[in-house]
Amino acid sequence: MLCQRCQQRPATVHFTQVIGGDKTEYHLCDQCAQEKGDLLSKAAQAFSFNSWNPFQFNQLLSGLLNMESSPGFSSPPLTQLRCDHCGLPYSQFTKTGRFGCPHCYDSFEARLEPMLRRIQSNTTHTGKVPLRAGGQVKVKKELQRLRRELQQAVSLEQFEHAARLRDEIRRLEQQLEE
């Protein structure tokens, strides 16, 4: 396959850009990928795992973050936003792509959502839960699932099933309060 951009050299960099469900494929040669300095061609490399290149990676992230702060995005001025726990300014996160502490996720929650939607497949964790903090979390996850199922049962007028679900939800809610 020839490079899409120069149509001369073989395409060696392949990546797919997904924005809001729209997929665009790119096939570029090394040189064009480099010259273009395309954010997402770097993403393809930076996401990989052994020769993690923090420089490329930061470029990627700050690219994504700056997209967020493009015109039309109304929020308090970036300069004022800080993590109230570790003090990391949001502006620094946009430069390094790294948070300062676990609380940063809560401090910057509003800005994080759109970015997570871009770089991850979803914004809710569905995998492993730690054994230690796990009991409560597991119950809450189960509750979320049951509430969704209840809604569905009601909308399908499966009232017997809905009643059983409601009892189960009450039981778990009590368990959480204890």
Partner 1 sequence: MSLGEFLQRATSPWMREGGPQDDIVLTSRVRIARNLEGVPFPQLETDSHANQVIERVATALNSPAMRKLGDFELVRCSNLTPLDRAVLVEKHLISRDLAEEARHGAVALRQDEVISIMVNEEDHLRIQCILPGMRVDEAWRLANTVDDALESELTWAFHERLGYLTACPTNVGTGIRASVMMHLPGLVISGQINRLLSAVSQVGLTVRGLYGEGSEAAGNLFQVSNQVTLGESEQEIIQNLTGVVLQLIDHERAARKALLQANREALEDRVCRSFGILAYARRMDSKETLQRLSDVRLGIDLGIIKGVSSRILQELLVMTQPAFLQKYFGQELSPEERDVRRAALIRERLRLDDMEVRG
The only residue of 95, 140, 145, 148 in contact with partner 1, by rule CB under 8 A:
140
Q: Is there a contact between 11 and 28 (Cβ–Cβ < 8 Å)? A: yes
Tell me the CB-side half-sphere exposure of residue 152, using CA atoms within 13 A: 7
Select 19 or 163, whichever has its Cβ closest to partner 1.
Answer: 19
What x/- string results for residues 25 through 54 when contact with partner 1 is judged by CB under 8 A? Answer: x-x--x--xx---------xx-xxxxxx-x
Q: Which does 39 bind (CB under 5 to 8 A by kind): Zn ion, partner 1, none?
A: none
- Residue with Cβ nearer partner 1 (71 or 133): 133
Radius of gyration for the alpha carbons in the chain, expressed in angstroms and rounded:
22
* Contacts (CB under 8 A) with partner 1, residues 82-111: 86, 88, 96-102, 105-106
Q: How far apart (Å, rounded) are the C-alpha atoms in residues 12 and 30? A: 6
Select from 72, 77, 127, 178 the one that contacts partner 1 (CB under 8 A): 127
Cβ at position 85, least distance to Zn ion in Å: 5
By CB under 5 A, residue 111 contacts Zn ion: no
Distance CA 67, CA 49 (A): 25
Cα separations in angstroms, 97 against 112, 115, 160: 11, 11, 50
Per-residue contact track with partner 1, 149 to 178, x per CB under 8 A? ------------------------------
Query: Sign of the CA dihedral 57, 23, 3, 32?
Result: negative
**Interactions with Zn ion, residue window 13-42 (CB under 5 A):** 29, 32
CA distances from 45 to 36, 55, 79 (A): 15, 11, 30
DSSP single-letter state for residue 99: -
Residue 17, strand partner residues: 24
Q: Which residues bind partner 1 (CB under 8 A)?
A: 1, 10-16, 23, 25, 27, 30, 33-34, 44-45, 47-52, 54, 57, 61, 86, 88, 96-102, 105-106, 112, 115-116, 119-133, 137, 140
